[in-house]
Structure formats: C-alpha cells, structure tokens
Structure 1
Amino acid sequence: GYVMFLDAVIFKLKGNSLLCNRRREFYIQMPLSIAFWLLFEFYNLHLVNWEYHGLPENKVELCIGMGLAFAMIMPGMFQTAEFLETLHFFDRFQIAKLRVSNRVIYSSIVLGFFFIMAPLLINRDYARYLFGLVWTGYVMIFDPIVYSSKGDSLLKDLEEGRLSRILSLFVAGYICGFLWEFWNYWSASKWVYTAPFMKDIKIFEMPVAGFLGFGPFAWEYFCFYHFCGLIGRKPQIN
C-alpha cells in the first residue's frame, strides 16, 4: 500500500512513476529485493541480531507473507528516495568534486571485502557486535565496480559534486526504517531484536544502534541493484 500510495503521489507531481511508466523495473526489483535480503538473513544465522515471533504455522502462508514483505524493501526505499528527489529537498547540497582514482576504487573494494567477511570468520560472541560492517561493506564493493563499468553509481555523483541522490537515499532508508518498525511493533507476527548493546534505547522494537544502519542500508540496496544491472551488458572499452 505504501509503495502504491507514493507512486501515485510521484506520478501526480511529475507525470512519471515506477508503476505507471517503468513497471518492468518494479518487476525486476521485487526478486532482487528478496535475494539481497536473504543474504542478510544468512548473516543473521551467525550474528543472531534478530529473530521472528508469531509466524504462521502454514508454510505456504509463511512463504507468501515473508516473500511479499521482503519484495517490497527495495521498491519502498527507491520510491521514497524518488519522492524526496521530486521535491528537490537536497538539490542545494553540493561538495567539491571527488577525484576517483584507481587507488580509491581498489582500496574501497579491499576494505569492503574485509567488512563483509570479518563478521562471518570470528567467534559469534564477538561477531554479533559487527553488524555495522555488514550494513556498509557491500556499498564499498558494489559501487566501485559499477563506477568502473560506467554504470549508475554513487561514486559518479561524488565525482560530479552532487549529493542530492545520495542524501535522498540515505534519508529514505530512515523513513522506511521508521515505518517498518512502526508497523512491526503492532503486528502479531513480528521480528524482535537481540542486538548486544543499547537494548533499552529503542525506536519501537529496534535499538537505536541498529536503527542507525537504515541509511547505509538504502545505499546498499541501490548499489546491489545497479551491480545486478551490469549482468548481460556489453563491456565498455575506454
């Protein structure tokens, strides 16, 4: 419902929207959204940062319900970011143009690889404190690869000194995170967090330390989506 509502608002504002004009993108986003979230579920098997309560016993009902929920993660954040961009909230924010050298690209990928592997390779008692690495590491891997392949990347925005889309995605992550936690709080079937610190300072069920990850989480979904967009593309020759 949230995605459809925002789509209608966006279409009203600019005469073009995901569901009305770019439906193929929406159909692609849904399975990719599920696939990327399942990667985080894989991490959670080791980190144990959240668990599910009150899930339906019927497996078909469970799969359909969770599948629909996971499928809307990417469209929800992307629609929210597009709405913010349509309102030009962050157009005035610019920075000095970043020089994206090979050193920046390779360093980012290496550091990102360390970020995504470290939580899996150390003892669970310590790994559960490293969820922040998981929420940022894939940005550092996917985005430089997309940039190097002449795809649509956040690094390209930084190279041109533009912050509008970066900030729109970042804020969209927190808006969606707040709404997800609000809906989850009142739901019979819900996720409950077992984060290792700041347990008593919460936004609904979510400890504040975990909530801070929603901004980078939106960047990760953006970078993953455009990384997948490279599949089947002819390589660019400089």
Structure 2
Amino acid sequence: MSRLLVQGLAGLALIAVFWSVSWLHLDPVGRHSFFGLWLGYILVVDAVVLWRRGESLLTRNPAGFVLMFVASAPLWWAFEGINQLTDNWHYLGVSHYSFLQYGLLATWNFSIVIPGVFETAELLSAFGVIRRFRHGPKLRLPGPTLVAISAFGVLMIPSMALWPRFVFPVAWMSLFLIVDPVNLALGRPSIASDLRRGDWGNVAALALGALVCGWFWEMWNFRALPKWEYTIPYLGFARVFEMPVLGYLGYLPFGLEVYAGYHFLAGWFNRLGTTSILVIEQPAGEPANRAT
C-alpha cells in the first residue's frame, strides 16, 4: 500500500473518529478531540497535494513540517494576548481545568494553526487556483515606507487597549504589519519582498487558505465542548456557526500573519526560516522556491 494512500486513510480515520466524539460529547476523548481532528485534516490535505504534485510539505521538508507545529503555539498565544485587550472571544467548558492543565491543552491545540493554513494554501495552489495571482502590480515599498508600516502596526497595539470597541478589527493586521518588514530586513521570506516583485501568489494562497481553514474551524467548533464564542461590537449579526458572517473577512489578513509569524520564529532555527516553506505554483520556466 502506497504512502499516499496510508496517509490519506489515516487522516480520514482521524477526522471520522474525532469529529464524531467531539459532536457527540463522548468524554473524555470528546473534550480533547481538537488536535486529533485537525491532524487528520492536515494529513488528508497533505496527501492530496502529494497526489497532485508528487511532493508535499511533509515529504519535501519534514523538519519544516514539524517546526510549523512548534511555531504555531506561540503565534496563537500572541493572539490570545491581543484578545485580552479586545475581548472578542471566550471559551466555554474550560472552567474545570487547572491553570497548568489549561495552558498545556491550549498550547497543544494551538499547534495546528500554521500547518492547517499552510497545507490549505498549497492545496489551492496544487489545483491551479492561485495561478492568476502570480503576476500583479509591483509595489515599490522603499525602506522608509516599511519602517512606517511596522511602526503603524506597533501603534495598533495600544490603540486596541484604549479603544477596543472601535479598533478591534486591526487585531488581524497588526502583527503582520509589525513582523513582515522585520523579516524583509533580516533576509527572511516576506510578503513585502513578493509584492516588490509583483508576485501576489502567496498573498492569495495564504488569504484563501486561512479562509478555508476558518470555515472548518468554525464548523467543527459549533457543536464541540470545550468551544469558543464571539462577542463582537456592532458586527455580531448574521452568524454562520458561532462567527458573524463579516468576521470571516478577518481570516484573509490572518493568513498573512501566519506566514510572517512562522518565518520570524523559524528564522532563529538556522536555515529553516531563510527560505519560504511554501511552494506556490510557479509560472512556466520559473524554478520553484523550495525549502530544503
């Protein structure tokens, strides 16, 4: 039996088991199903990419694949910190956990964010969805402009503390604006460097990949316990699952934040952070920028 088939079937089995026990509240497994469910999703998507391309994130860069899980938890904890300012979401069904238990379980669950988004971005690329975005307008983005962008991102943090009811949407842009120019300055992969070349492929793949993941996050969360709910000023209407419909727009810039955050953190691990981990479909005659 081929690796692709084994991996795909294993992923589907994980989804079937952990989705069922989560929504049926078959505890104690049901209360701890989030990671297993998303690991299944990641394995299935990776297998489909492998089938389409002959390679995938897991087969092409095993160390980077593991590092995605490692980097994901601190990245999402940063968003949990921002949520202390905006109070846009809260968790139900976690009161019986001790402080240590909650921290460990949350960290374990947060580790799937980056892998989920990156795998989905490559899936969209593998089916040609991103091809049309590879050639777009080139943005100059000189050094002083990038410094101003990063400074603006920094200013967003205290603004959320001072005016959370009005400024809360910038939670899904601030870290990207801060970190992406830093990545460029440090010679790491960045969206700014892509846009200077007129390559909007990563922007499209990451934004759409995060949106697809957002749909599954919200769907699988809907009947789960523990779960999260939203308290969003002015925009808390027309909910799709627990998320107000306009809230899904936040997933688009979130995909860029995931990319910037990963390469900022991975950059401290030697060469793993110096080459883009993603392979977005290349135009004819252009070599893929593959991580090794």
* Same fold (TM > 0.5): yes
Supply the distance in 1 between the matched residues of 2:148 and 2:169 (Cα, whole angstroms): 19
- Partner of residue 55 from structure 1, selected from 94, 98, 101: 94
The answer to whether the aligner puts 1:109 opposite 2:150 as a matched pair is yes
TM-score scaled by length of structure 1: 0.89
User: How far 1:6 moved relative to its partner?
Assistant: 0.4
- Residue equivalent to 2:159: 118
Amino acid at match of 2:187: K
Deviates more, 1:86-95 or 1:60-69: 60-69
Question: CA separation in 1, counterparts of 2:90 and 2:97?
Answer: 18
Which range is displaced more, 168-177 or 145-154?
A: 145-154
SS for the counterpart of 1:89 is coil
Aligned-partner residue type, residue 172 of structure 2: W
Whether 1:168 and 2:168 are equivalent positions in the alignment is no
- Return closer, same or farther for 1:33/1:27 CA change in 2, 3 Å cut-off: same
C-alpha root-mean-square deviation of aligned residues, in Å? 2.1
Question: How far off is 1:63 after superposition?
Answer: 4.8
1:5 aligns with 2:76: no
**What's the secondary structure of 1:166's corresponding residue?**
helix
Residues 64 and 107 of structure 1, relative CA distance in 2, 3 Å threshold: closer
Equivalent of residue 263 in structure 2, options 201, 226, 231: 226
1:209 Cα deviation (Å)? 3.2
Q: Determine if contact 2:239/2:245 at 8 Å carries over to the other structure.
A: yes
Which residues in structure 2 correspond to 1:65-84 (within 5 Å)?
Answer: 65-84=105-124
Cα offset, 1:88, TM superposition: 2.4
- Whether the 8 Å contact between 2:67 and 2:266 is mirrored in structure 1 is no
> Secondary structure of the residue that 1:191 maps to in structure 2?
strand
Bigger mean CA offset, 37-46 vs 173-182: 37-46
The separation in 2 between residues aligned to 1:64 and 1:110, in whole angstroms, is 33
- Tell me how far apart the structure 1 counterparts of residues 252 and 240 of structure 2 sit (CA, whole Å): 15
The count of aligned residue pairs is 231
Q: Is the contact made by 1:49 and 1:128 (CA closer than 8 Å) also made in structure 2? A: no
| Unaligned residue ranges in structure 1 (runs of 5+) | none
Counterpart of 1:149 in structure 2 is 186
Note the C-alpha offset of 1:103: 2.1
- In structure 2, relative to structure 1, the CA distance for the partners of 1:22 and 1:53 (3 Å cut) is same
Q: TM-score, length-normalised on structure 2?
A: 0.73
Letter in 2 for 1:78: F
AA in 2 matched with 1:102: G
Distance 1:28 1:233, change over 3 A: closer
1:213 to 246, 250, 275: 250
Alignment-mate amino acid for residue 69 of structure 2: M
Tell whether 2:125 aligns with 1:88.
Answer: no
Name the CA distance, whole Å, in 1 between partners of 2:97 and 2:232: 29
SS in 1 for 2:90: strand
Structure 2: segments with no counterpart, 5+ residues? 1-39, 275-292
Choose which of 171, 174, 183 in structure 2 pairs with 1:134: 171
Give the residue type in structure 2 aligned to 1:146.
Answer: N
Does residue 19 (structure 1) correspond to residue 19 (structure 2)? The answer is no
Residues in 2 aligned to 1:10 and 1:218: alpha-carbon distance in whole angstroms? 19
Partner amino acid for 1:105? L
Describe the SS at the equivalent of 1:52.
strand
Contact 1:85–1:165 (CA<8 Å) still a contact in 2?
A: no
User: Is the CA contact (8 Å cut-off) linking 1:182 and 1:204 kept in structure 2?
Assistant: yes
- Which residue identity lines up with residue 150 of structure 2 in the other structure? I
1:105 partner SS: helix
Moved over 3 A (4+): 58-65
Which one has more relative contact order, counting CA pairs under 8 Å at least 6 apart? 1
How far 1:129 sits from its partner (Å)? Answer: 3.3
Q: Is the 8 A contact 2:42 2:115 kept in 1?
A: yes
